[in-house]
Amino acid sequence: MRTTPILLALATAVVAAACSGSSPDDTNNTDNNPGATPGVPGGSVDDPNKPVNPDDVEPEEEEFTVLGERQIEYPEALRTASLKLLRRLPTLAEIKEVETGGKEAYEAAIDDMLQDPLFAARMVKWWQDIMRQGGGNGDDRNTAPTFAAQLIVEDRPFTDVLTATANNCPTYNEGMNTFQAGTCNSGAPAEAGVLTNPGVMRQFYGPMAFRRVRWVQEIFACKAFPAETGKAENRGNGTYYAAWPWESISADPVNFLDTQAAICANCHQTSNHLAPLFANFGEDGMWQNMPAVKTNVNGELVDSQRTHWLPDSEQTAWRFGKPAADLPALGAVMAEDAEVHRCMVSRAWNFTMSKEDIVSDAANIDGAVIKPFIDMFSANRNLKEVLRAMLKSEDFVKY
């Protein structure tokens, strides 16, 4: 193929510009273009001194993002909210009203749905899913999720789920969509929301009460063990990174300080400080005056003793530096914990935005996304108001 004079001239211009140390698009460089006007874009190859007409310049394309392309669609948001809150589609009249009334009509519809009797049934179902609890009519495994749902429906502080001293085991009448008050009467020295719920303690009975501890951790802190970390240090064949001093838990009859393989103490430093609080609930979920769970010692189940978890000098606690002498104290310290607040708001966000479970499905949320809602919850503890704000937010109404 022959090289035309025009192509040769273009190639020569590009090479010259590259060798000069300036870009061919260096529009303000007057040293290499003596006839150019400072501050005026350079011209064409044929006449570098001729200013470029801005109308001839192709505008840069804006970066495309899916989120940036969304538009507010109140009728679509109404449909999603109705299915989510009431488990039914909106009526044609409801859709038309929102189509005509826009934002004001949509937000009024959300307020109405949050007062609808069907909302109570939806909250019971939601918390049954979260707490992994439920059963037939009269089954005490319904009472913990029912209590959580009741607190939301009745605009009560949601942290009562951890601290209530009475009426913490309500029942739900599906036909009437109403709650009936009831106290757990677990036999514990004092009630503490769902932390003394017999249905929970019965379902999660197991050796050394660790299944109960895992339930509390995952439901109210929204993450699996290990729960807390500190400065890392080498221990045997692994790394120890828990917040607690190494010898804060027991090594006999179960060696929680073993270092031959995985460093079990990374999880057990926290769980061992919690487990004794739940150890007195028996297999039936009722409180006894001594530990009612078992410890596996060389293949034999023996009655657990407090020293199986902790040395005599150690106290029970929610986290390092957050002691809890009993279950009411545990509920109180959890109710003030920012980690618990974030967990409850995260669960509300995943429910609203149709995401999976934050623990079992690792559906985590960036804290910056939900910070306004965390601040709202920490101020008033009202999870229903958080749901209301999420359902009215741009993130929900844009499609």
Give the pLDDT confidence of 193-242 residue by residue, as tens digits.
999 999 999 999 999 999 999 999 999 999 999 999 999 999 998 999 99
Looking at residues 79-97, what average pLDDT do you find?
Answer: 97
pLDDT at residue 13 in the model: 40
pLDDT at residue 69 in the model: 79
Amino acid found at 375:
D
- At residue 301 the predicted structure's pLDDT band, cuts being 50, 70 and 90, is very high
pLDDT averaged over every residue in the chain: 88
At 43-83, the pLDDT tens digits run 444 555 555 565 565 666 656 566 677 899 999 999 999 99
pLDDT at residue 42 in the model: 45
**Radius of gyration of the chain from Cα atoms?**
32
- Verify cis geometry, omega within 30 degrees of 0, for the bond prior to 253: yes
CA nearest neighbour of 126 among 358, 347, 335: 347
State pTM to two decimals: 0.82
User: Does position 19 have pLDDT exceeding 90, yes or no?
Assistant: no
CB 342 within 8 A of CB 367: yes
- At residue 138 the predicted structure's pLDDT band, cuts being 50, 70 and 90, is confident
Cβ-based neighbours of 70, under 8 Å, separated by 6 or more: 398, 399
* Tokens at 57, concatenated: 């310049």
CA distances from 377 to 62, 162, 335, 382 (A): 37, 15, 11, 6
Helix (H) / strand (E) containing 203: helix 198-203
Work out the widest C-alpha separation in the chain, in whole angstroms.
101
pLDDT at residue 54 in the model: 53
How many alpha carbons lie under 13 Å from residue 180 in its C-beta half-sphere? 8
User: Does position 36 have pLDDT exceeding 70, yes or no?
Assistant: no
Kindly state the percentage of the chain with pLDDT values over 90. Answer: 79
User: Does position 27 have pLDDT exceeding 90, yes or no?
Assistant: no
pLDDT at residue 64 in the model: 57
- At residue 136 the predicted structure's pLDDT band, cuts being 50, 70 and 90, is confident
- At residue 377 the predicted structure's pLDDT band, cuts being 50, 70 and 90, is very high
